[in-house]
Amino acid sequence: MRIASVQLEAGPNAEDNVAKVEARIRDVADSGADLVVLPEIWNLGYFAFDEYAAGAEPIDGPTMSHLQSLADELDLYLHTGSIVEADGDDLYNTSGLVSPEGELLDTYRKIHTYGYGSREQELLTNGKRVVTIDTVFGTVGLVTCYDLRFPELFRALVDQGADLFLVTSAWPIPRLEHWLMLNRMRAVENQVFLAASNLVGQNQGVELAGHSLVVDPWATPLANAGFHERTVVADVDLDMVAEARDDFPALADRQFDLSYDL
């Protein structure tokens, strides 16, 4: 399968951001992409906290509906990146996976909202559900940005059968090395493929790290977008997940009968 990770700068106008994303998706569809991954809160810009309430949408609102139509038209899987989802009185950081028929297969509400230099914890409600989705290629697990620092979530995804992690993110540049390391670690310790899409450029005075990437089960980067607006593409064979686990059976050596209490 061919995975494309879209890296872009989120501007102040949501309509312009939607148009930019649509153009990127159409371009990569022409190159034969089977799955496209988008960044975190790309339509508003992650750090546009004052816009969250006004820019929030229900899950069947215009942004998700537009992405569903695109996936259907272009016959590809589309990881929607995340939007600010409005559900009653609560707001969530919500991503989803759309099928090539335009069906929203499932959604994931970010479990670990972020507080360091961010108002996300103040404004948004934490998700409560670990989400994996079966596709024709394999089982994918959805995670968002700060989730990368919590390895227990990724173990839960693997225990639900995930062989590909999809990461949507708005990771700032001061912790770029953490970004590069954590994506590779989450892949290698769980022996899965990982595709991550990050914002880049400036958003509300914050510089984003870019470096959207695709990583294989041995922690080898197959593609990296660097510091610029671009889309990176990698061809992956998910059969390599089973091969890696057979060759180096670390997951099979887990000791479930030990509580690890010290």
State pLDDT tens for residues 11-39: 999 999 999 999 999 999 999 999 999 99
Q: Are 85 and 59 in contact (CB under 8 A)?
A: yes
Are 43 and 66 contacting, i.e. CB atoms less than 8 angstroms apart? no
Handedness of CA 26, 27, 33, 38 (dihedral sign): negative
End-to-end CA distance of the chain: 44
Active site residue 145: yes
What are 80-90's pLDDT values in tens digits?
A: 999 999 999 99
Q: For the chain (length 262 residues), average pLDDT per consecutive 10? A: 98 97 97 97 98 98 98 98 98 98 98 96 98 98 98 98 98 98 98 98 97 98 98 97 97 86 64
Q: Does 122 participate in catalysis according to the annotation?
A: no
Let me know: does 167 contact 194? Beta carbons within 8 Å: yes
Residues 211 and 222: their CA atoms lie apart, in Å, by 12
Q: Where are the domains of the chain?
A: 2-251
Q: What's the whole-model pTM score?
A: 0.97
Looking at domain 2-251, what is its CATH homologous superfamily?
Carbon-nitrogen hydrolase (3.60.110.10)
Left, alpha or beta for 138 (phi > 0: left; psi -120 to 50: alpha)? Answer: left
What integer pLDDT is reported at residue 154 of this predicted model?
98
Q: In Å, how far from its chain's centre is CA 168?
A: 2
Cα 195 to Cα 52, 131, 217, 222, distances in angstroms = 26, 16, 11, 10
Q: Which of 20, 57, 110, 120 is flagged as catalytic?
A: 110
Catalytic residue among 9, 40, 57, 85: 40
